[in-house]
Amino acid sequence: MTKISTMFGLIAAAAVGSVPVSAQTVADSETPATNLAIPGNVQLYGDGKPNVYRPSAIVNGEVITATDIEQRMALIRIANNNMELPAEEIQRLRQQVFSNLIDEKLQIQEARAAKIDIDENVINEQFARLAARFKQTPDEFSKYLASKGSSAAAVKQQIRGEFAWDRLLSRNIQSTTNVSTDEVEAVVKRLQEAKGQDELHLGEIYLATTPENAAAVMANAQKIIQALQAGGSFAAYARQFSEASTAVVGGDLGWVRPATLPPSMAQAALNMQPGQLVGPVEVPGGISILLMIDRRQVLTADPRDAVLSLKQVSLDFAPGTTEAKASELASQFADATRSIAGCGAADDIAAKLGANVVSRDNISMRALPPQLQNTLINMQIGQVTQPFGAANEGVSVLVLCGRDLPESATAPDVQAIEQKLLEDKVNKRAQRYLRDLRRDAVIEYN
């Protein structure tokens, strides 16, 4: 589904708020009679902004305000570690957020016309799950959002839009989209012909350049890379900044072969490992930032295709734990969990530490973060990973309880191929559907 993938000009608004408003006067003799207790020599206080914003757009009779835009931009800042951007990039981002809000309004309107209503309980449940990811109750999360310049209403409206659009697509598009046997067999044939060749699952943020703006674009790319290295969401940044057609899917290029890439991109990608970020890479017409999501060889067995049974031992940190205190607690946790010898001992050690234990079977190794894949791939049954986590969350280890290795050779997964072809068709039809809604809409801009 979607994303809190929203990122956000507040600079102009902040500047307005910091400038004092000079007194505005009018002669008593020129003051019209109003029967109100208004002095002739009026002095205005405050920042001069009305308490109700003018509409930025009216979409088929429904308003999008400047407040809506600013609150969505605040969500993007929350999701991406408060990344600082140049003024021109903030303005470009504001336009993208504005466009996204118009699309969302159209999607909700179309779902409503199709008599698709999203129960408020469903929206509240999703909001509560999101709050839990921040280790907060819904009320606490609402206050947190307000403190960051957004609101619970902004998040819930985005949730409503995502659910409404998904259900509309399921009814109107997915149910009438089919994949033929011939289409599946054609893909199987291509895979068999390419057996043993490298395939790379890449993410890309592409920024177009001209001789005049090349230096500025390169500087912006470096800022994006710094934000990503600090923990920003690659998909969110790609949606907002990439100028490639893949921006709508978070920059995901899917599985590609090096020969299909520009030479400079192929050369960089072939030396990358899963989870690695590289860039800026000069490509025809601009520069690219690359993320290696995964890599494999076509129809060749790979240890990363293993299916795992795991136990996760987790110790939560109290709110407000500092980085220094987190490191100290993590060190103590590491010393204690290092003595775990097999999955059977994990529960006893966890009980002594006051930690939680969760057991999970049938976990695909490829579904785990690359850093953990690289650790687990070399572990024996019963061994424990090094601790991992964050100061605002806690610390965990994984105990490897079982591993089902892939076959020596892998046959094409016909069901997976069919599903991927179906998703591609549905996505293309969904894009055309939204394009038609935009074309037919009555949109007034202010």
In the three-class reduction of DSSP (H, G, I as helix; E, B as strand; rest coil), residue 201 is classed as strand
CATH of domain 197-297: 3.10.50.40
Question: pLDDT tens digits for 104-150?
Answer: 999 999 999 999 999 999 999 999 999 998 889 999 999 999 999 99
Spatial contact of 333 and 396, defined as CB atoms under 8 Å apart: no
Peptide bond into 280 cis (omega under 30): yes
Dist. CA 245–CA 258, nearest whole Å: 19
Dist. CA 18–CA 11, nearest whole Å: 11
Continuous segment of H or E residues that includes residue 89: helix 87-113
In the block, tokens 């790979």 appear at 302
In the block, tokens 């090096």 appear at 258
Q: Could you write out the DSSP letters of every residue in 354-412?
A: T-EEEEEEEEEGGGS-HHHHHHHTTPPTT-BPPPEEETTTEEEEEEEEEEEPPPSB---
Question: pLDDT tens digits for 37-88?
Answer: 555 444 544 444 444 445 589 999 999 999 999 999 998 888 766 666 667 7
- From the candidate CATH numbers 1.10.3720.10, 1.10.4030.10, 1.25.40.10, 3.40.50.970, the one assigned to the domain spanning 10-172: 1.10.4030.10
Question: pLDDT tens digits for 78-87?
Answer: 876 666 666 7
Spatial contact of 203 and 235, defined as CB atoms under 8 Å apart: yes
pTM: 0.63
In the three-class reduction of DSSP (H, G, I as helix; E, B as strand; rest coil), residue 225 is classed as helix
In the block, tokens 């893909």 appear at 187
Every domain range in the chain assigned CATH 3.10.50.40 = 197-297
- From the candidate CATH numbers 3.40.1110, 3.30.70, 3.10.50, 2.60.60, the one assigned to the domain spanning 303-404: 3.10.50
